[in-house]
Structure formats: C-alpha cells, structure tokens
Amino acid sequence: MRVMVKIKRFNPGRDREPYWAEYEVDVEPVDRVLDALEYVKWHLDGTLAFRRSCAHGICGSDAMLINGRNRLACKVLVKELGARITVEPLRGFPVIKDLVVDMEGFFAKYRAIKPYLIHDEPPPETEWRQSPEERARFDDTTKCILCAACTTSCPSFWANGAYIGPAAIVNAHRFIFDSRDRGAAERLAVLNTGLGVWRCRTIFNCVEACPRGIDVTRAIAEVKRALLFSSL
Amino acid sequence: MYVGRERPTGGFEVFAWFFMRISGVVLILLVLGHLAIMHVLNTVDEIDFEFVAARWGSPFWRTYDLVMLWLAWLHGLNGLRMVIDDYVHRKGWRAVTLTALALVGFVLLAMGTQIILTFEAPTSRVTAGLP
Amino acid sequence: MYRGREGMWSWILHRVTGLGILLFLAIHIVDIYLLGWPDVFNKLLFLYRHPVFRVAEVFLVAAVLYHALNGIRILLVDFWVEGTRLHRQIFWAQVVLFLLIWIPTSLLMLSPVVFGR
Amino acid sequence: MTTVHRYDAVIVGAGGAGLRAALEVARVTPRIAVVSKLYPIRSHTGTAQGGIGAALGNMEEDHWEWHMFDTVKGSDYLADQDAVEIMCQEAIACVYELEHWGLPFDRTPEGKIAQRRFGGHTRNFGEAPVRRACHAADRTGHMILQTLYQQCIKHEVTFFNEFHVVDLLLEDNVCRGVVALSLADGELHVFHAKAVLFATGGFGRMYKVTSNARSLTGDGVAIALRRGIPLEDMEFFQFHPTGIYKLGILISEAARGEGGILRNRQGERFMERYAPTLLDLAPRDIISRCMYTEIREGRGIDGKDYLHLDLTHLGREVIEKKLPDVTDFVRTYLGIDPIREPIPVQPTAHYAMGGIPTDVRGRVIRDEKNTPVLGFYAAGECACVSVHGANRLGTNSLVDILVFGKLAGRDMAEYLRGADFAPLPKDADGPAREECERLLTSNGSESVARLRETLQREMMDKASVFRTQEGLEAMLTTLKELKDRYRRVRIQDKGKIFNMDLQEALELGYLLDLAEVTVVSALARRESRGAHYREDFPKRDDAEWLKHTLAYRLDGEFELRYKPVVITRFQPLERKY
Ligand SMILES: Cc1cc2nc3c(=O)[nH]c(=O)nc-3n(C[C@H](O)[C@H](O)[C@H](O)COP(=O)(O)OP(=O)(O)OC[C@H]3O[C@@H](n4cnc5c(N)ncnc54)[C@H](O)[C@@H]3O)c2cc1C
Ligand code: HEM
Ligand code: SF4
Ligand code: F3S
Ligand code: FES
C-alpha cells in the first residue's frame, strides 16, 4: 500500500518557518503510523526527528497530531487513515525540532498537583488495606501515561497555555480519590482557580484524544464536584 | 473519600461556575417562557407600548422580568468574562476589556432595573382587551 | 483545523449562541429603557416588525433554544455520573429535540410574514 | 563548550532500577542527579505487565524459601544462591514499601494486595502453581514506574532528561563520572561524581522480533565493556513464549497465569507432552523451545511459524478486567478479539540475563575474584548479580530492579560518606567528542538502518532460541563484517538539535558490541542450560559448565574467564516441570 506522508517540519537552527514535507512510503496496511515515520527516517530523510520508544502505546512518547487528531503514532494503523497521512507536532508546546516538542511546562504542571501519595501516619507492617471498591474508585486515572495528547487537544489550553490542563487534573484525581491519600485538600487548592479545573469547558476533545481510554472529562467533573460540595 | 485536612472552600470561580448552572436552570423556564409569550404566542405585531404597559400592570410580570433580567444579564456577563479570560492575555488589554465589561454591565443592568421598577403606566392608556 | 467531535462543536455553538443572545439582550435592555419615552418607543417598533427582524427573531429563538438544551446537556455532564459516557448520545438527542421544537415554532412565527396571517 | 556538573552521585537510567536507587541515595544527599536518555516515565519498566513476585501469602500459603527454590530451579541452577536468597527475602519488604508509596495494587476482598499465578512459581518446592505475582491489572510495571517517579518528585531528585550517556570516566579502578550528550541542543556535558550507577536496561533490540522498546540498546553495558569491565553470562538471552506474531509485542505470562492455553495447528494443548505438571506455566525457556519444536515439526498454525494462545474459554469478564491492556493490544494491532478468537503468537526476544557483573551490594566487579570497581555501581536489567542465572522467571525482574536498586543505592550512600571526588581525567570528554565527530563527519556509504536490520535478522536466525556451532561461527563472521561496515556508516543529519540520527548510530554501535559478546560467550559454552540451547550439546553439563562466564574485551580481542556459582541451599537437580 502506497501512502503519502505529509509532515510538518521545523528545525529552529536552520528554518525560519515551519514547512510541509511530503514523502511517498510503501507500507503494509497493518503498519502503524510510527512504522511509516521510521521508514521515512531510515530510508528517505535521516534528518527527521520524533520521539518514540515502546512502540505499543505504553510509554507515551509519540503523541502527535495525525490527520487532525491527537494520537499516538504507534497506536494508529495506516489502514485507518487512507492514502494521505498528515503529521504535525502537538499544539501549544514550543517545537524543539520537527515532531519533538518541549514538554517541560507540561511536566511542571504535573508536579504542581503533588502527584505522590500524601500520608503522614506511619505505615503498617504490611499493606494499607483498601477494598476492591475503594481501589476501583480511581482505577481509570491510574492508567495515564502522561503523553499530553489530552492537554494539547483542548481548545481551552490552546486559548490559554497557562491552563493546568486535563492531564494534570487526571493525575490529581488519581490521588484525591485514593482512600489512602490525605492530601486532597492541598491538591484541590491548586485546582480551585480560574486556571485550574474551572477553565475546563467540558469540550471532550481530551477524552477522544486519550490513547488510554480514560474518561478525562468525568475525572474533571468529579474534581469539580468535590470542590463544589466542600464549598456549599 | 477520606478527608485529611481542611478542604479549600469557596472562591470566586466555584461560585461563578455554580451560578452559571443555577441561573441556567432557572433561565430555561424564564427565558423560554418569555420567548413563548412574547415572540410565538404573541408576535411583535401585537407588541407595543400598551402591551408592555398592561403587562407591567401586574406585579407578577414585573418580578418575572426583573428576575429574568438579572439572571440573564449576570449569566451572560460572566459568560463574556470567561470568553475574555480565554482569549485576552495581554495585561493591559485585559484590564481595559474587563473594566469596560464591568462598566457597560453595570450601566445596562441599572437601566433595565430602573425601567422595570419605576415604570408607571399612564393609567388612562391602560386599555381593555389585553391579557 | 483540529478534528474535534460532538463535544467541540457543541461548545463552539454554545459559545456563539451565548454571545449572540447576550448581544441581543443588551440591545433589548436599551429598547425597553425607551419605554420611558412612549412615543419614541412606538416609533422604533417598526424595526421589530421589519421582515429582516422577523427572520432574525427565528434565529434568536434557535439560539436560545440550542443554548438552553445544550445547557441541560452540560448540567448532565457535570452532575450525572453517566453524563460523560453518554454525552454524545445526549447531544444527538438534543439535536432531535431542537429540531422538533424549533421547526414548528419557526413556522408558527413566520406564518404572519409569509402568509400575512 | 562542554559544561561540567558536579554531583555526589550520578544515576544513569530512570527505569525502575535507577529510580529506586535514586530514592535510596536521596536519603543521604540532595546532590544527586539522574541522567536519562528518555523522560523517566518513558522507560521500559513501564511496559512490564504481569506482576512482581513476592511471597506475601495473601491468597494462599507461601514462603520466600519456596520463591527462592523456584528462582534457582528456574535459573537452571546458574543463579548465585546467596543473591537469590536476599532477593526473595527483600522482595516482600519492597512490595510493601511500594504499596506505602501509593502503588495501586489490585486487591483481595479483604483489602490485601492481590496475587496471581505465574510461570515457574510453585508451592512447596515444585508441587503446583502458587499465586505469588502481585499485580495491578496487566499494568504492574506502569504503576511501579509511576510510583517511583512520583516519590522522586516528592523528594526533589534532580533529573537530566533526554541526556544520552556516551562515556564512563573510569581510571585506575576508580569511577569519576560520565559524559552525556544533551539531545535538545547536541552539547556534551561532563558529570563529575564520586559514584556512578548504571541502570540502563536491556538490549533486546539486537533481535528482529522483540518485546523491547526502541531504546533498549544496551548502552550502559556496552560502555562498561569498552571501559574494560567484563560482561557476565551474556550467552543467556530470554525469549518470551508469547509475543504477538511478527510484531513481538508482549502478551504477558499473566494471560496464561489466568488460565490461557497454548495450542498448535491441531488445536492440541501441546505443553501436556512437555511439562505435565506446570503445563503452560512452565518456565519461559522451556516453553519457547517447545514452541519452536512444534513449529519445526510442522504443527505451527497453517504450517507457519506461529502458534495460538487461546483465551476464549476465560470469558469476557476475566479478559477485560484482568488483562485490559493485552486485550487492547490484540484488538488494535491484529484486529482480533481475544474473547472470541485465539491470538497468534511466537517467541519474542525479551530479557537479558547477562550484563555488568555486580556483587549483592550492587558494586560492579571486575574479575572472577569479585574485586569491586570503586564508585561504580550497576542495577536492573543491565546488571548481572546473578539472580536469574540461565533463565529468569516471570515477575523476578521487577523484584530484581527494586531489591538491587535499593541495595545498590544504599551501598552508594554509604560509599559517598567516605569517598571524595577523584579528579577528572584530562580531556574528560575527548573520546566521546571524537566518536560523535567521527560519526557526524564520516563520508561512508553505509546506512545505520540497513546494518541494524541485518544484525537483527541474523541474530534471530543464528543466536536465538536454538544455537549451533556453525550458526554461531557464521554469526561471528557476519558480525566482523557488520562492524567493519559500521566504520563507514554515514549520518544524514549533521545538525545539533535533537539529532536522532546520531543517537541511532551510537546505539547501533552498542548493539554490535553486545551481539559479539553474546555470540562469543555462546560459542564457548558447550552445553545447554536455561535459555542457552545448543543443538550440538543438548544436555546440561554441571561438571564442566556450572560456572559464570566473564567476557573481557581487551584491545579488540575477547578473553573469556569463568567464576564459580554460589550454591548454598539447593544442589543442582535435573529440571522437570
Ligand atoms: C514487555 C515487557 C513486559 C515485562 N513484564 C515483566 C513482568 O511482568 N514482571 C517482571 O518482573 N519483569 C517484566 N519485564 C522485565 C522488566 O520490565 C525489565 O527487565 C525491567 O523493567 C528493567 O528495568 P531497568 O530499570 O533495568 O531498565 P529500564 O526500565 O529499561 O530503564 C532503562 C533506563 O535507562 C536509560 N538509558 C538507557 N541508555 C541510556 C543512555 N545511554 N544514557 C542515559 N540513559 C540511558 C533509559 O532512558 C531508561 O530510563 C518485562 C519486560 C518487557 C519488555
Ligand atoms: C436558557 C437557559 C440557559 C441555560 C440553561 C444556560 C446555560 C449555560 C451554561 C451551563 C453555561 C456555562 C458553560 C460552561 O461553563 O462551560 C453557559 C454559558 C454562557 N451562557 Fe448561558 N444559559 C442560558 C441562557 C443564557 C442567556 C439568556 C444568555 C445571554 C444573556 C447566555 C449567555 C451565555 C454565555 C455568553 C455563556 C458563556 C459561553 C462560553 O463560555 O462558552 N446564556 N450557559
Ligand atoms: S490522560 Fe490520557 S491523553 Fe492525557 S496524558 Fe494521560 S494518557 Fe495521555
Ligand atoms: S478538552 Fe478541555 S475543556 Fe475540558 S473536557 Fe477536555 S479539558
Ligand atoms: S512509542 Fe511508546 S507510546 Fe508510542
């Protein structure tokens, strides 16, 4: 199967403006977009840069804008896309080169919500007990691989890059609703601002973008409700 | 969920968010009712000074309109504030637009309120045949 | 262009209709304020009776109706546990409901203009 | 110009082993840096699926001695039993510690950590499978990596992300730091340190079909070799039985732990013939070999080189709840629904048992007398303690990275107290700069991608599950050629910013070196043990070969030495399951 891969390229060391480059690639229908990119890299143009590692949707390296939607390149098969594939870097982050974006700001927001269990009491000899129901309460948000597909698909984030973004909220949710955690108050305080959860306008692009199938908007809604009910 | 320490409570944004929802629910009834009466069951052909005057003869409709005005206006203004918040980033511009919003918002709200509260129907012109 | 789906489009529409209604409301406040000057008020009424406004009025109703229905969807998403899972279905239900209400209403509203009642 | 950083301790690699060690060192000094070529949470530990083994006995009776026995037997008696003993004891504390740090394990109805069966793990010294693998669905590694990274954030560990380490500064048996290439801007950085720990992971990328990430190119192991450190037991490379056909993506052993069955083209559960007690939960080396035997004897599906992993009898509930990610992989990449159809699988290169030799305190040793290199540590898949011997049991790698990450970190912390900064060598970054320059300016005609493809294909062919003298010798010749051609490789990207081309060329260099050691060690070992199966020497030979290989490369020539296996509790027996 012959496909045309159109890649938005930019090398700040050399180019003044981003530009589109087109490559013709022979692929198997069951190949991933990542395979197509690697084909370009290995056989057509060695200067192309992108991130990838696990190649099966677990490490979160290769989120990018593929045919108008944020996807992991290693999790979309080319047969889903047809003969023209357009690839751009994630929106809203500075581009380092080609498809590689600067994620430092993204991780800073992740760190801001204190993404670690907060529990001051000394732990027991064995495990802290947690019922399967309590465990299920936050299961969905434990799956996050911090790929940033959600945050960079969110129009609210494009409009204002200072928005903490769905990924950070998802990770806050993971702890706020963990029965072992005692730090909910601190995290909720971080999220209770105009740049926190309240900037989410329930647009749902995040949910569609999430390669882990996390119901991001639901997590955000639960955090909003937690804040609302503790305020009432 | 276990609660360890004090939860953060309140804050303008929670309030604004909740207000948008509460006012929205109430507005569904008020605005749709209003539209139905003024623009569907009656049409602008029938509506004139007398029509309005007769309507405001009843305290019920005055209250109805007053509540609707406040809720819709504050709801809409806050909506516009959210939009400005999204798209206007430059400090100076923000200050300018938000101040303008507050000023225009206040003036129009005052105008609307004033007319609803102080409107006096010229008794002679109140005619029969109106609902 | 980001290829967002129902959620994104419904939000854009919600925003546009909200701002539209707000603009109308602002004008409406001013014109009602003119009730203080009955003659001016009645003179200006021709504006409201102009066919262009009559058509615009139909769209005003559409805007309010959409905004209201979508507002309900937002509320369901915010407060009903199944809301986020079913938001797309709710959206399409809302579209159907919108058409069911809006089309007859528009006919009702426009009939005087079209048929002179 | 080259930036010089100074930290008490530098940890290279931010997978499970590196992060666990960092947390230990961070207890005593804040002057610690973790240098990683990937963002920490992108590390391969995150892909580990099935579980982490520890004899908690939450679901049924279990003891660390049983765990130890299984590990030793699984290793085909090549593991050092003192190390295994420590690992199996410490595993329990390590798992609880993770739980206290917030790891969201699945739970039993009483709220304890849930456990499942896994290959080779048995009750009462081999009687029947036991539930020992602690898990969080099939995302255990993901949760471990996240939890450790979260703790590092909490303790404000300093990270240098996307810094590719290219050289180790080692002189007079004292480690002085590392040199790293910053990917974002292409500059070299020297990290001057009192102690360095390598936790750079495995090198499955030298094979064509592998479960390993693109990044698993054995950098640390190869760099150590180049700096004169011998490599231990490199002939043992584990092939996991169930990789997705052609892609190599792993279908966790948990699938069989939950009851999945391997079938050949006749639909026969062929493991009944080979391992009547443990069946589909026999250790990996055995199953992989049986699968190849089935395929060779024409019982592959449609006569091709794959078999079926059948989960259809487990039902939707078990499959979707307990193996959600695996199910997703199969649906995404094969378009098959494992609830209704069997999954095409083939053995996939998975885990390096060999690596940088260390003692149980994580100190790198440089000879058969266990002489430690001062200030140089290694842990995780890149190290060889050796707890896995000739074949690792499932769930034991996660235990390994935690236990020996922790112990290495602890020893480092101790060492830092007494040690001072040894002076940097003159022109510390010289060799690294030279290598990068050479690659960047070389005007040859060879392509990195083509060389790598050839390497991977040939290794798969000649040095994977079945090995022979001729095959290995042919491979050695191929490798000589490939290395020769590597000298003439040409890089297209001459820029500085995020030069993936340069990085891939460096990585290919490491793979070539490691493939060579693997083949040399395999050629010498004239017996079959664990994952190393010589068709020309199909029997295990304890009299001659119950010993660890140490492969040195001195001036380009290999020298093999051997060191004895530590045997404490369990005398070698024939391995039957
Ligand atoms: C698909 C799969 C499933 C598995 N499932 C299980 C399981 O269920 N149970 C189990 O016990 N084991 C399992 N394993 C094995 C286990 O996951 C790994 O062996 C273990 O995670 C290795 O951890 P590590 O910390 O040594 O290395 P990794 O997690 O691979 O980390 C290596 C680190 O080194 C860094 N690095 C590498 N080279 C350089 C360089 N040159 N410069 C700077 N940094 C560098 C990388 O950036 C990375 O941070 C599985 C393995 C795979 C592949
Ligand atoms: C009829 C009933 C109404 C309902 C149920 C309703 C509901 C809502 C809700 C829930 C929001 C919040 C959206 C969010 O937070 O993301 C909202 C926003 C908004 N509403 Fe309404 N509303 C109604 C009427 C009105 C009216 C009459 C106006 C105009 C005066 C208006 C103008 C706006 C504006 C401008 C926004 C902001 C849009 C945005 O931020 O995207 N609404 N509405
Ligand atoms: S929530 Fe989903 S899309 Fe967002 S960072 Fe996590 S895994 Fe990626
Ligand atoms: S797309 Fe954005 S607005 Fe909210 S629902 Fe998702 S974060
Ligand atoms: S490469 Fe790991 S998620 Fe795509």
Assign B119 a pLDDT band (cuts: 50, 70, 90): confident
Contact predicate A68/A103, CB 8 Å: no
Assign B128 a pLDDT band (cuts: 50, 70, 90): very low
- Give the nearest chain C residue to B111 (CA atoms): C33
Q: Is D408 left (phi over 0), alpha (psi -120 to 50) or beta?
A: alpha
* Pocket-testing residue among A56, A71, A76, A87, ligand 5, by greatest number of atoms within 8 A of Cβ: A56
Cis peptide leading into D386, omega within 30 of 0?
Answer: yes
Taking an 8 Å cut-off on Cβ atoms, the answer to whether A179 and B16 are in contact is: no
Hey, is D209 helix, strand or coil? coil
Instruction: Check if D243-349 and D430-547 are the same fold.
Output: no
Q: How far is B6 from chain A (nearest CA, A)?
A: 6
Cα–Cα distance between A44 and A22 in angstroms, integer?
11
Contact predicate D486/D509, CB 8 Å: yes
D70 token code pair: 């299984």
Instruction: Report yes or no on chains A and B touching (3+ CB pairs under 8 A).
Output: yes
The reply to whether A65 touches chain C by the CB within 8 Å rule is yes
Contact A154 CB / ligand 3 (< 6 Å) = no
What average pLDDT is seen over chain A?
Answer: 96
CA nearest neighbour of D213 among A55, A72, A145, A100: A55
Taking an 8 Å cut-off on Cβ atoms, the answer to whether C42 and B25 are in contact is: no
| Chains in contact with D, counting 3 or more C-beta pairs less than 8 Å apart as contact | A
Given this model, what pLDDT does residue C39 score?
Answer: 85
Q: Which of A81, A151, A197, A202 to mutate to test the interface with C (most CBs of C within 10 A)?
A: A202
Nearest ligand (C-alpha, residue D36)? 1
Taking an 8 Å cut-off on Cβ atoms, the answer to whether B13 and A194 are in contact is: yes
Given this model, what pLDDT does residue B34 score?
Answer: 92
Contact A205 CB / ligand 4 (< 6 Å) = yes
Residues of chain C with Cβ-Cβ distance to A221 below 8 Å are 77-79, 83-84
The reply to whether C42 touches chain B by the CB within 8 Å rule is yes
Contact A214 CB / ligand 3 (< 6 Å) = yes
* DSSP conformational letter for D46: G
* DSSP conformational letter for D338: T
**B130 pLDDT exceeds 60?**
no
Residues 74-93 on C with a CB inside 8 Å of B are 74-75, 78
How would you classify the pairing of strands A84-88 and A63-66? Answer: antiparallel
CB atoms closer than 10 angstroms to residue D370? 12
Taking an 8 Å cut-off on Cβ atoms, the answer to whether C105 and B83 are in contact is: no
Contact A147 CB / ligand 3 (< 6 Å) = yes
Residues 72-111 on B with a CB inside 8 Å of A are 82, 85-87, 89
Q: Is A121 exposed, middle or buried (0-12, 13-18, 19+ CB in 10 A)?
A: exposed
Map out the domains of chain D as residue ranges. 243-349, 430-547
Instruction: Give phi and psi for D131, each to the nearest 5.
Output: -85, 105
Contact A204 CB / ligand 4 (< 6 Å) = yes
Instruction: Report yes or no on chains A and C touching (3+ CB pairs under 8 A).
Output: yes
Nearest ligand (C-alpha, residue D161)? 1
Of the candidates B1, B9, B11, the beta carbon closest to that of A184 is on B1
How would you classify the pairing of strands D547-554 and D261-263? Answer: unpaired
Domains of chain A: 2-101 (3.10.20.30), 104-229 (1.10.1060.10)
Catalytic residue among D139, D284, D534, D575: D284
Nearest CA to ligand 2 atom 20: C18
Given this model, what pLDDT does residue B125 score?
Answer: 47
pLDDT tens by residue, A153-175: 999 999 999 999 999 999 999 99
Map out the domains of chain C as residue ranges. 6-115
Q: How far is A166 from chain C (nearest CA, A)?
A: 14
Given this model, what pLDDT does residue C35 score?
Answer: 86
pLDDT tens by residue, A115-157: 999 998 899 999 999 999 999 999 999 999 999 999 999 999 9
Taking an 8 Å cut-off on Cβ atoms, the answer to whether B5 and A227 are in contact is: no
Contact D67 CB / ligand 1 (< 6 Å) = no
Task: Please measure the distance between the N-terminal and C-terminal CA atoms of chain C and give it in whole angstroms.
Answer: 46
Residues of chain C with Cβ-Cβ distance to A170 below 8 Å are none
Q: Average pLDDT of B74-83?
A: 97
Taking an 8 Å cut-off on Cβ atoms, the answer to whether D104 and A129 are in contact is: no
What is the ipTM for the molecules in this complex? 0.94
Domain D243-349 has CATH 3.40.50.10320: no
| Chains in contact with B, counting 3 or more C-beta pairs less than 8 Å apart as contact | A, C
Cα–Cα distance between A45 and D395 in angstroms, integer?
41
Total number of domains in chain B: 1
**Please, what is the Cα angle at C73 between C72 and C75, to 5 degrees?**
65
Q: How far is A232 from chain D (nearest CA, A)?
A: 30
Give CA separation, B49 vs C37, C51, D287, in Å: 10, 20, 91
Residues of chain B with Cβ-Cβ distance to A195 below 8 Å are none
Q: Is D487 exposed, middle or buried (0-12, 13-18, 19+ CB in 10 A)?
A: exposed
Q: Which amino acid is located at D167 in the chain?
A: D
Q: Which CATH number applies to D430-547?
A: 1.20.58.100
- Is B119 among the domain residues? yes
Q: How far is the CA of D519 from the centre of ligand 2 (A)?
A: 70
Cα–Cα distance between D146 and D45 in angstroms, integer?
10
Sequence-ordered strand ranges (E) for chain A: 2-9, 19-26, 63-66, 69-72, 84-88, 95-97, 100-101
DSSP letters for A122-189: PPPSSPPP--HHHHHTTHHHHT-----TTGGG-HHHHH-TTS-HHHHHHHHHHHHT-TT---HHHHHH
Half-sphere exposure of B19 (CA within 13 A, CB side): 17
Nearest CA to ligand 3 atom 5: A146
Per-residue pLDDT of chain D (577 residues; tens, 9 = 90+): 689 999 999 999 999 999 999 999 999 999 999 999 999 999 999 999 989 999 999 999 999 999 999 999 999 999 999 999 999 999 999 999 999 999 999 999 999 999 999 989 999 999 999 999 999 999 999 999 999 999 999 999 999 999 999 999 999 999 999 999 999 999 999 999 999 999 999 999 999 999 999 999 999 999 999 999 999 999 999 999 999 999 999 999 989 999 999 999 999 999 999 999 999 999 999 999 999 999 999 999 998 999 999 999 999 999 999 999 999 999 999 999 999 999 999 999 999 999 999 999 999 999 999 999 999 999 999 999 999 999 999 999 999 999 999 999 999 999 999 999 999 999 999 999 999 999 999 889 999 999 999 999 999 999 999 999 999 999 999 999 999 999 999 999 999 999 999 999 999 999 999 999 999 999 999 999 999 999 999 999 999 999 999 999 988 899 999 999 999 999 999 888 8
Q: Which of A77-91, B49-63, B110-124 has the highest mean pLDDT?
A: A77-91
For CA atoms D569, D572, D574, D577, the dihedral sign is positive
- Give the nearest chain A residue to B89 (CA atoms): A160
Check if D331 is active-site: no
**B123 pLDDT exceeds 60?**
no
Tell me the fold of C6-115.
3 helical TM bundles of succinate and fumarate reductases (1.20.1300)
Give CA separation, A15 vs A18, A21, D123, in Å: 7, 13, 64
Assign B122 a pLDDT band (cuts: 50, 70, 90): low
CATH of the domain at B72: 1.20.1300.10
Cα–Cα distance between D105 and D98 in angstroms, integer?
9
Domain hosting residue B65, numbered range: 12-128
Taking an 8 Å cut-off on Cβ atoms, the answer to whether C57 and B39 are in contact is: yes
| Chains in contact with A, counting 3 or more C-beta pairs less than 8 Å apart as contact | B, C, D
Strand partners, D537: D534
* DSSP conformational letter for D342: P
Taking an 8 Å cut-off on Cβ atoms, the answer to whether A225 and C79 are in contact is: yes
The reply to whether A152 touches chain C by the CB within 8 Å rule is no
Half-sphere exposure of D345 (CA within 13 A, CB side): 35
pLDDT tens by residue, A3-54: 999 999 999 988 999 999 999 999 988 899 999 999 999 999 999 999 999 9
Instruction: List all residues whose CB is within 6 A of at least one atom of ligand 5.
Output: A 52-55, 57-62, 72, 74
